[in-house]
Structure formats: C-alpha cells, structure tokens
C-alpha cells in the first residue's frame, strides 16, 4: 500500500467522515455505560447538602458556540434543585444573545414539568453589562445591581422570590456558574465567592476544563462539570437522561475517529519520511 498517498488526501473527505461517524450512533445507539467522575459527584453533593428552601444563584455565562455543552447542565441542575425545593435565581454576563433565553428555556421547561412557578420558585434576571461591577453590587444589593427589573423588564418587587433574595451575602447559599471564558467562574470566584466565603460550583466547556482543575484541588471550586460528558454524568446522577446522555455515543465514535486519524496521519508521515531518506 502506498501510505504516502495518505498525506495528500482531500480534507473535505475528512469532514464527510466526521459527519458520518457522529451520525451513525445517533441512528443506532451503542448504549455504552457512563461512569461518574469524582468532580461531577462533588457538584451533585454540593447541591444535595443544601437544606430545602435554599437559594442557588445560577450564572449562565455561555456563548452560542458552547451552548450545546452547557445547556443540558441547567436542566439537570433545575431537576435536582426543584426536587429539594430549592429556589433558583438566574443571571448572565457572558452573552446577552444566549444566556437569558437559554436559561429561560432549559430551567423553564423543567420548572413547568415540576409545577414550579416563575417569580416564586425561580426567576431570570437577565444579562447585565460590566460583570465585575454588577457582581460586586449583587453581593450587597441584587435589586440595585439588576436595575430593579427582570429579563422581561418587569419590576423585581412584583416577584415573591425577590422579596426573600435581597443580596448574595445574606440570601444565597450556592453559586452555580456555567462558564466558557471571561466573565465566568474566575470572576465569580475572585469578586464574590472568595470574599463572601460562598460555595462555588458549576460546569465549564471542555475547552477550559483542564485549566481550572487546580481550583478544584484547592477547594475553591466544589467540583465542576466538564462539558457534554459532565452534563451526561450529572443527568445520570439526577436520574434525568437528556441531551447530554444522548450525545455520548456519538462522542465515543468521534474520539475513536480522531485517534484513528492520528495513527493514520503518523503512518503517512513516517512512510513519506522513509521514502525521502531512501531517495
């Protein structure tokens, strides 16, 4: 076989192969078991140990690109939180296009199924500019920081939940951040969680997951979910398999495909190098 030819293959064939490899398990699922990692278990425990009626502040700091990885985490969190009768207050700082509507869609659909009311059990405060300044204000005065309105521009004083939740310092028990960059977990840790000694957990896109491990080790993050895999594990833990779990088989085949590409690419490289040295 002329391995050298492998070096000159049209890249578009690779793209077609990627689509095929990811599609096959969607049509014919492999049903491979998902093991739960320590980091995901810690996230689950952080929510689980909250007493009923606690308030979780969720910051959905995702952009359109990484939303497929992070959105399923919200559904799983909402299920676990609402089952424990915890309340959810949502904000967004990363992207106004994605954060508030996606929070509304994913938390809203779980809330509807579980009979939880908007404004009573959960609320969407929307996107705000200038993350640092807004976060710092939220520590003492959430109403003021949010300019007194929710994401639909309705006065916060109209909602019973906001009569209980006035500041992060006194009324929030856990901060859950989905993160893809800045602003994200680092800002929440630096400006809110660390000064107020509040527990911080959440989930990150796998693009930055390896870069935040040291904070889990030092206990500054109470575990963290890693991308779609983390979402799938969390869904499994809360007993609500959703978009995270359904993507895992495709992910498996995708990874095998990349490893095969790495092997074939290197065989081609060494074959052509050998040919050159012989010539």
Partner 1 sequence: MQLRRQLPLMVVFVTALLVMLFKFFNFGETGKNVLSQMDKWSQVTSIVAFLLGPINLIRLHIGNVAKRRPRWIHSALTLVVIVVFTIVFALNGSNGKVTLWVVNNIAIQISGAIYAMLGFYICSAAYRSFKLKNLEATVLLLSAVILMLAQAPIGEAIIPGISKWGEWILSVPNSAGMRGIRLGAAIGAFAASIRVILGLERSWVGGSTAD
Partner 2 sequence: MTAEQWGAIAGSICIIMAWSYLFKESDVYYFAEHLFVGLTVARGLTYTFENQLKPLILKDIAEKGQWSLLIPVVIGLLIYCWFFKGLRWVARITMGFWIGYGAGYTLAFSPPVYLKQVFDTFTPFIKDGRFNFEGVLYFLVVITALMYFLFTVKKESGVLKYGSMFGRYALMVAFGSAYGSITMAYLSLVIGKLQVIFKDALHLVK
Which residues are near partner 1 by CB under 8 A?
7, 9, 11, 14-15, 18, 30, 32-35, 37-39, 63-68, 97-98, 100-101, 105, 126, 128-130, 132-134, 136-137, 140-141, 144-145, 151-153, 206, 209-214, 216-217, 226, 229, 248-249, 251-259, 261-262, 264-266, 269
Task: Output the smallest distance, CB 156 to partner 2, in A.
Answer: 10
Identify which of residues 259 and 274 has a Cβ nearer to partner 2 in the complex: 259
Instruction: Please list, residue by residue across 178-204, b when 16 or more beta carbons sit within 10 angstroms of its beta carbon and e when fewer do.
Output: bbbbebbbbbbbebbbeebebbbbbbb
Q: Which is nearer to partner 1, 141 or 170 (CB)?
A: 141
Site string for partner 2, 22-61 (x = CB under 8 A): xx--xx----------------------------------
Of the listed pieces 33-41, 44-52, 123-131, 264-272, which binds partner 2 according to CB under 8 A?
Answer: 123-131
- Contact status: 62 vs partner 2 (CB under 8 A): no
From residue 149 to residue 188, the character string flagging contacts with partner 2 as x (rule: CB under 8 A) and all else as - is x-x-x-----------------------------------
SS3 91: strand
Crossing angle (nearest 10°) for helices 99-113 and 67-83: 40
Is 13 a residue that touches partner 2 (CB under 8 A)?
no
Question: Is the separation of the CB atoms in 69 and 37 below 8 Å?
Answer: no
Best CA proximity match to 89, nearest among 172, 16, 4? 172
Which residues, numbered 225-254, are part of the site for partner 2 (CB under 8 A)?
Answer: 226-229, 243, 246-247, 250-251, 254
Check: CB of residue 226 under 8 Å from CB of residue 45.
no
- Report, in Å, the least distance between residue 148 CB and partner 2: 5
CA 217 vs. chain centroid, Å, equals: 19
- Residue of 148, 264, 267, 269 interacting with partner 2 (CB under 8 A): 148
The Cα 43–Cα 61 span in angstroms is 17
Of the pair 6, 149, the CB lying nearest partner 2 is at: 149
Q: C-beta of 12: minimal distance to partner 1 in Å?
A: 9
Q: How far apart are CA 76 and CA 200, in angstroms?
A: 17
């Amino acid at each position: 076989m002329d391995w050298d030819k492998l070096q000159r293959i049209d890249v578009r064939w690779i793209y077609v192969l990627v689509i095929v490899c990811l599609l096959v398990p969607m049509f014919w699922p492999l049903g491979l078991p998902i093991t739960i990692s320590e980091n995901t278990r810690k996230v689950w425990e952080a929510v689980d140990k909250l007493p009923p009626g606690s308030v979780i502040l969720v910051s959905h700091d995702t952009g359109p690109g990484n939303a497929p990885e992070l959105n399923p985490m919200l559904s799983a969190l909402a299920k676990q939180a609402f089952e424990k009768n915890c309340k959810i207050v949502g904000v967004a700082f990363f992207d106004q296009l994605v954060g508030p509507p996606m929070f509304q869609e994913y938390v809203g659909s779980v809330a509807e199924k579980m009979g939880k009311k908007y404004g009573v059990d959960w609320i969407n405060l929307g996107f705000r500019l200038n993350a640092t300044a807004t976060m710092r204000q939220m520590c003492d005065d959430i109403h003021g920081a949010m300019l007194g309105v929710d994401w639909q521009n309705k006065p916060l004083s109209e909602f019973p939940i906001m009569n209980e939740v006035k500041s992060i310092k006194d009324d929030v028990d856990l901060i859950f951040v989905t993160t893809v960059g800045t602003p994200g977990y680092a800002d929440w840790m630096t400006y809110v969680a660390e000064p107020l000694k509040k527990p911080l957990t959440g989930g990150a896109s796998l693009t930055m997951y390896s870069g935040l491990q040291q904070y889990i080790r030092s206990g500054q993050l109470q575990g963290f979910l890693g991308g779609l895999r983390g979402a799938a594990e969390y869904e499994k833990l809360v007993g609500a398999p959703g978009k995270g779990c359904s993507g895992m088989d495709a992910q498996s085949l995708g990874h095998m495909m990349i490893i095969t590409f790495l092997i074939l690419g290197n065989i081609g490289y060494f074959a052509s190098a050998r040919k050159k040295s012989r010539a």
